[in-house]
Structure 1
Amino acid sequence: MKGFHIVVLLSSAVLLVSAAPALELVTCSKESGAAAARLTMHRINENHGHGYKFRLQEIQGNKVETVDGGCNLELQLNLLETVCHVINPKHFEDCEIRRESARAVMANCTIKMSVRNTDANVTKYECDTRQVKTNREMVRICPDCPTLHPLNSTEGLKSVNEAVSKFNQNTTNQHYYILKEVGRIKVGYIPSVGMAYYAEFALVETHCPMGSRINPEACKPLCPDRAAGRQAPPS
Structure 2
Amino acid sequence: WLQVIRLLFSMQLCTTLTVLGLLVTGSQAQGLMPTISLPPCDSPEAEAAALVAQGFLNTQHTHGYKYVLNQIDEIKIVSGPLQADTYHLELDFLETTCHVLDPTPVSLCPVRQKINTAVEADCDFVLANTTQGLSVVAFKCKTETESEGGCGGCLQLVPLNDTDGLQLIETSLDHFNKNNPLNTKFALLEIGRMESQIVSGGPRYFAEYAIIGTNCTSQDDDICIPQNHTVAIHGLCLAEGSANRVNCKIFAPVNTTLLLHINAIQLL
Instruction: Please indicate, yes or no, whether the TM-score normalized by the shorter chain is above 0.5.
Output: yes
Code of the residue aligned with 1:185 in structure 2: it is M
Aligned position for 1:220:
227
Cα pair 2:212 2:227 within 8 Å, conserved? no
Cα distance in 1 between the residues matched to 2:140 and 2:227? 34
Indicate which of 39, 51, 65 corresponds to 1:38: 51
Residues 26-61 of structure 1, C-alpha deviation per residue, up to 9 Å, x if partnerless?
A: xx8833110000011000001122110000000000
Give the unaligned 5+ runs of structure 1: 1-27
The TM-score normalised by the length of structure 1 is 0.77
Aligned position for 1:201:
209
Cα distance in 2 between the residues matched to 1:61 and 1:203? 38
SS at match of 1:208: coil
Q: RMSD across aligned C-alpha pairs, in angstroms? A: 2.2
Cα distance in 1 between the residues matched to 2:38 and 2:75? 10
Structure 1 stretch displaced more, 165-174 or 143-152: 165-174
Give the unaligned 5+ runs of structure 2: 1-36, 236-249, 252-262
Cα pair 2:38 2:76 within 8 Å, conserved? no
Structure 1 residue 125: Cα displacement: 1.0
Structure 1 residue 82: Cα displacement: 0.4
Aligned position for 2:93:
79
Indicate which of 135, 149, 154 corresponds to 1:139: 149
Aligned position for 1:102:
116
Structure 1 residue 181: Cα displacement: 1.1
Cα pair 1:149 1:187 within 8 Å, conserved? yes
Aligned position for 1:54:
67
Structure label with greater radius of gyration: 2
Structure 1 residue 91: Cα displacement: 1.3
Cα pair 1:69 1:117 within 8 Å, conserved? no
The reply on whether 1:230 has 2:264 as its aligned counterpart is: yes
Cα distance in 1 between the residues matched to 2:226 and 2:234? 16
Percent identity among equivalent residues? 26
Structure 1 residue 92: Cα displacement: 1.1
The TM-score normalised by the length of structure 2 is 0.68
Cα distance in 1 between the residues matched to 2:38 and 2:118? 34
Cα pair 1:178 1:206 within 8 Å, conserved? yes
SS at match of 1:122: strand
Higher helix share: 2
Code of the residue aligned with 1:40 in structure 2: it is A
Cα distance in 1 between the residues matched to 2:112 and 2:167? 25
Instruction: Describe the shift of the 1:146–1:225 C-alpha distance in structure 2 as closer, same or farther (beyond 3 A).
Output: closer
Cα distance in 1 between the residues matched to 2:172 and 2:166? 10
Q: What is the aligned length?
A: 200
Code of the residue aligned with 2:61 in structure 1: it is H
Structure 1 residue 166: Cα displacement: 1.3
SS at match of 1:166: helix
Structure 1 residue 126: Cα displacement: 0.8
Residues 166-210 of structure 1, C-alpha deviation per residue, up to 9 Å, x if partnerless?
A: 111205231111111110100111103x11110011112223122
SS at match of 1:156: helix
State the structure with bigger RCO (CA 8 A, min sep 6), 1 or 2.
1
Cα pair 1:180 1:201 within 8 Å, conserved? yes
Code of the residue aligned with 2:264 in structure 1: it is R
Instruction: Describe the shift of the 1:211–1:144 C-alpha distance in structure 2 as closer, same or farther (beyond 3 A).
Output: same
Aligned position for 1:172:
181
Code of the residue aligned with 1:50 in structure 2: it is H
